[in-house]
Amino acid sequence: MPGITLTLSGCKDQKLTKECVLLATQITCEILKKNSFETMVIVRHVDDDDWFIDGKSLAEWGKNSFRLEVTVVDETCSKDQKAAYQKAIYNAMDQAIGNLHPQSNVHVIDCKAASYGYTGITQEYRYQHKDEFY
């Protein structure tokens, strides 16, 4: 179950938000081999005046930005998958949002299976008790 936190610069734009959520979900499922039914996305918006890079706000830079954090269970994604994911997400957000500051970024967070789960059950427990869940 990947959990995604997507932070977008600028004012809320429902159309752009929906497009970015769909792109993040699709790319996460395709490249990291995750199930869309179990993929959660939380979106936050930060005003350009409140987002700083090198001490200057995005408003001063005249740029847009995003930060995507995806939490996955450790050892479920290879280095090659993560590298491909970084590139695909950045390129997709660049196309959707445009005028990105180059410090826009993606953070893949690997969590231990015993520390991560959903419905009150850790991924480690699911793994140890596969017959109960599959």
Structural domains in the chain?
2-132 (3.30.429.10)
Model-level pTM? 0.92
Residue indicated by tokens 């995507």: 68
DSSP 79: H
- Over residues 8-54, the pLDDT tens digits come to 999 999 999 999 999 999 999 999 999 999 999 999 999 999 999 99
| Buried/exposed 70-106: b ≥16 CB within 10 Å, e otherwise | bbbbeeebeeeebebbbebbbebbeebbeebbeebeb
Q: What is the pLDDT of residues 101-133, one digit of tens each?
A: 999 999 999 999 999 888 899 989 988 998 887
Distance CA 47, CA 58 (A): 9
How does residue 134 score in pLDDT terms, banded at 50, 70 and 90? low
- The neighbouring-strand residues paired with 123 are none
**Residue 118 is encoded by which pair of tokens?**
């959903």
pLDDT at 130: 85
Q: Using CA atoms in the order 40, 46, 52, 57, what is the torsion angle rounded to 10 degrees? A: 150
